[in-house]
Structure 1
């Protein structure tokens, strides 16, 4: 049985809001997205910042894949 990653609601909501506000700012590079998230969002911890940046990276990759298809 395969299980997917579980992400908390605040991570998903924040990542989607960031992509909606700044659509051309984020890329598939996690480290760059991490820096952008730390500038744009007041996070509680590094872990939450990294979760948001990782989900943003994931969403950008999905959007690029759909655009190619």
Structure 2
């Protein structure tokens, strides 16, 4: 099993997705660059955690919207 993400990472990632949701994609590398531009992160590890969680949230949204559209 994988590691559990800290609540602070989840909170900031959800906030970023709420404010800049149209800019994020399902691509981790582009999200990583975007997180670095939008947020002043203290370390590379935190930036990567944020980008990874945002990417997984975007993928979940895409999956949910695809499931809703198919009968």
Answer whether TM exceeds 0.5 for this pair.
yes
TM class by shorter chain equals over 0.9
Task: Report which of the two structures shows the higher radius of gyration computed on alpha carbons.
Answer: 2
Q: TM-score, normalised by structure 1?
A: 0.92
Give matches, 1:13-32, under 5 Å. Answer: 13-32=11-30
Q: Which runs of 5 or more structure 2 residues have no equivalent in the other structure?
A: none
Residue aligning to 1:45: 43
Q: What displacement does 1:4 show?
A: 4.4
Q: Which runs of 5 or more structure 1 residues have no equivalent in the other structure?
A: none
Residue aligning to 1:59: 57
Q: TM-score, normalised by structure 2?
A: 0.90
Please identify runs of 4+ aligned residues in structure 1 that moved more than 4 A. Answer: none
